[in-house]
Structure 1
Amino acid sequence: MTTTDEYAEVAFPPLGRDRRVQGWIFSAAVSQIGDVAWYVGLAWSAAQVTTPAGAGLVMGIGALPRALVLLWGGALADRLDARRTMILANLGRIVVLATAGAIVLTSGVTLPLLLTVAVLFGVMDAIYTPAAGTIPRRMVRGEDLVKLAAGTQLANRLAVFVGAPLGGLLVAHGGLAAVMLVDALSFAVIAVALAWVVRPRLPQPSSSGASIRADLRDGFGYLRRDVSARTLVIAFFGLNLCVGPVIAVGLVQRTHVDGWGAGALGWFQACSGISAALGAVIALRWKPRRPARTGLLLLIPQAAGCVMIGAVPRVVVFVAMAMIGMTAGLASAQLSGAFQQTIEPAFLGRTSSIVSLSDEALMPLAMTGFGALISLTDVTFACAALGTAFAVLMLWSAARLKG
């Protein structure tokens, strides 16, 4: 764990004037814009060249290599220099996009090409993401981690509003090759920022295992030993697996069953996104004494919003989505900062990869199970059941945390 003495030996400029922090947040925003634009272009291109089932395969197949490689990527992040690993992963993405773009220009868009690119991107993501999870802890003081997380999340949420229409415009006027070019440029910008601006101030503790497999065993052993770390990981699993199905499946089913139309669904999502950005702005200035516990308790209103989605009238669904968005913006910053402070630096990559695995490997199962629950009961019961389970898990987690 990083000690006060280690922080005292390093000069940290004020967070608002820290060029390395600004570079980190800027690179996160550029990455999000490129990713969102890419997925819009990928989805549209898949819809043009294959059946709906094929398009679904294109959009989902990248999760398989991410799930298979994530734990290995986490162990790699704790063993190698994280910044260099991220730069190499971005260069790999650029090579993939440049090669695929050349094929598109000469031979056109095909289903095998889209599947290949999606798989290769999944592998690169599994290497890049855990390494990125180790950087904030080594760049700022412990008390600034929540603010850094809030700033990064605000940039990411605002970037979505830029990336989605940008992807649509690019694929409409320049085709998939144009989207690939812009996405490759975004990765080049990030690589330059990582190489010249984003330089961690604290050393990276290296894992001590004799092999990647030994490092993985040690990572799971760390979670068995450390109650606070294990509790946060369990809470993150619950957060990912409870809210996602309600928004992605429950809200859609409720909108469809009640005949509110696709327009209403878009406005619901916009309400949540705007509220989340506002929550992140507030988190930039709010400094609770116990960020981990505060973040978990903030998610209780989010659980209530999940319950409301299945039962309340349309106008009140906007209130529920605002509750979910606002608490997401507030709680995510607190919990991200607390995660960075709680996890031993030598295990950040492995622990981050375990948390990410809930999205990649377990989320499809959670979506399917939640849809089956709706079929067996109804939207109201399913949302109430999952929202209640979510609230209970957050209360249990908050009670177990020491700080």
Structure 2
Amino acid sequence: MSVDVFPPLRRDRRVQGWILSTAISQAGDMAWYVGLAWSAAQVTTPAGAGLVMGIGALPKALVLLYGGALADRFDGRRTMILANLGRIVVLTIAAVVLLAWGLSLALLLTVAVVFGAVDALYTPASGTLPRRMVRSDDLVKLSAGSQLAHRLAVFVGAPLGGLLVASGGLATVMIVDAVSYVVIALALAFVVKPRLPQPVSTSGSIRADLRAGFAYLRRDTRARTLVIAFSGLNLCVGPVLAVGLVQRTHAAGWGPGALGLFEACSGIFAAVGALVAMRWKPANLARSGLLALVVQAAGCVLIGLVPQLGMFVAMAMIGATAGIASAQLSAAFQQTVDPSYLGRSFSIVNLSDEAMMPVAMTAFGAFISLTSIPLACAAIGTAFGALMIWSAARVRSDPSPVGHGIAAP
């Protein structure tokens, strides 16, 4: 397909509609997350609240691989529309039940479980869309723009959720989140139309599709390396930021205000990193992104060692490299993986978050208890850096983008 089909991103209404509608939906999700957490705390014990916030990961982990296979078998855009309609129906019914019978633990658990299953269908399908929307050269800019929009959505959605649940209760949060899904469903139906066809799986069954997906990663070294690197990235950085940073701040007596400032520092520099990624065009996106994450690994080590002022430096290192590397590696992933296997490969990467992250968090906390915060952060940071160097060495060459008509001008 001719590259003339793709307008510059600054004039691409389809891409702009995709980023804007996704940001609106993510703001609604963040508001829902806050509202759900607050409501769970009102009706049950801390253990019950933890169950509400975590139980959605179970159905998502169980369904995610099948969701990836469905994304490669059917049209990803239509799958996303149907998943959003499912979310709208769930939230509408839940709001009616809540208004009629009141808030209950059973209602919160049911909604969390159903949402987890629907997310498992939506997430892999969304991973197939960028490749079909823009030229290969514009994938970094699309990813960086999506990152910026996501961070703004979190910044707006979190306080919005607090205000909504305080003034109108959880039902109001449900309605607002449902409206955000209506926005993205309408955008997908009428604005965000892929420019390239989606190659579909021709296997005889979903199970055969799954076998074919794993076989593809076994034979494609570069794609397999990126999947391993992404999974390792999630499992190393997540525990350091969610457990190590909190424990270090608490142990040093810096207080929750300092924790918030550390997180804000990381978010600000991640936005700066995304802006840098829009302008920086390295010859090898995968290698550049992976080597940038070696700096992030050093930041993880510093979290366990440096004084309070140094923590801002460490969080700036983590945030800036996250902004740069996420854009570059997302683009490299889209360029590298065969379009026929994007959904399945994307679902395997996400599975590490859903299935392995709780284990990684628990193990890292136990490691801190058995040793110390500095040693635990140093160990996981070093392992993370070694994995990124190993991965960068395996993606040294930069192949031409694979696929159907996606080429640089």
Q: TM-score, normalised by structure 2?
A: 0.96
In structure 1, the residue matched to 2:70 is 76
Q: Does 1:399 align with 2:393?
A: yes
Residue 406 of structure 2 aligns with which residue? none
Question: Partner of 2:94: helix, strand, or coil?
Answer: helix
Partners of 1:26 and 1:354 in 2: CA distance: 27
- The answer (yes or no) to whether the contact 1:37–1:167 under 8 Å persists in 2 is yes
Q: Which amino acid is the alignment partner of residue 99 of structure 2?
A: L
2:355 paired with 1:367: no
- Pair 1:271-2:304 in alignment: no
Aligned pairs for 1:248-327 (under 5 A) are: 248-327=242-321
Is the CA contact (8 Å cut-off) linking 2:17 and 2:191 kept in structure 1?
Answer: yes
Equivalent-residue separation in structure 2 for 1:97 and 1:247 (angstroms): 31
Q: Identify the residue that residue 226 of structure 1 maps to in structure 2.
A: 220
Aligned residue in 2 for 1:3 = none
| Residue 382 of structure 2 is aligned to residue 388 of structure 1 | yes
- 1:166-245 aligned within 5 A: 166-245=160-239
The Cα shift of 1:10 comes to 5.7
Q: Which amino acid aligns with 1:245?
A: P
Q: 1:161 aligned to 155, 159, 162, which one?
A: 155
What SS class does the counterpart of residue 201 from structure 1 fall into? coil
What is the 5 A alignment of 1:25-36?
Answer: 25-36=19-30
SS of 2:5's equivalent in the other structure is: coil
- List aligned pairs for 1:139-154, cutoff 5 A: 139-154=133-148
Give the counterpart of 1:379 among 373, 376, 379: 373
1:54 and 2:48 aligned: yes
Whole-Å separation in 1 of the counterparts to 2:59 and 2:272? 34
Which of residues 330, 335, 345 is equivalent to 2:339?
Answer: 345
Alignment match of 2:330 (pick from 329, 333, 336): 336
Looking at structure 1, the residues matched to 163 and 277 of structure 2 have their Cα atoms a distance apart, in angstroms, of 33
Aligned residues with identical type, % of pairs: 74
Q: 1:52 to 1:210 in 2, by over 3 A?
A: same
Report the counterpart of residue 358 of structure 1 in structure 2. Answer: 352
Are positions 1:128 and 2:134 aligned together?
A: no
Q: What CA distance in whole angstroms lies between the structure 2 residues aligned with 1:9 and 1:295?
A: 26
Letter of the 1:337 counterpart: A
> Which residue identity lines up with residue 272 of structure 2 in the other structure?
L
RMSD value, Cα: 0.7
Tell me the TM-score normalized by structure 1.
Answer: 0.98
Relative distance call for 1:79 and 1:10 in structure 2 (3 A) is farther
Give the counterpart letter for 2:242 in structure 1.
Answer: A
1:158/1:277 contact within 8 Å kept: no
Counterpart Cα distance in 2 of 1:245 and 1:278: 23
- Residue 9 of structure 1 and its aligned partner are, at CA, apart by 6.5
Structure 1: 5+ residue stretches without partners: 1-5
- Distance (Å, rounded) in 1 between the aligned partners of 2:25 and 2:150: 8
Contact kept in structure 2, 1:75 and 1:215, CA below 8 Å: yes
Which AA in structure 1 matches 2:80?
Answer: M
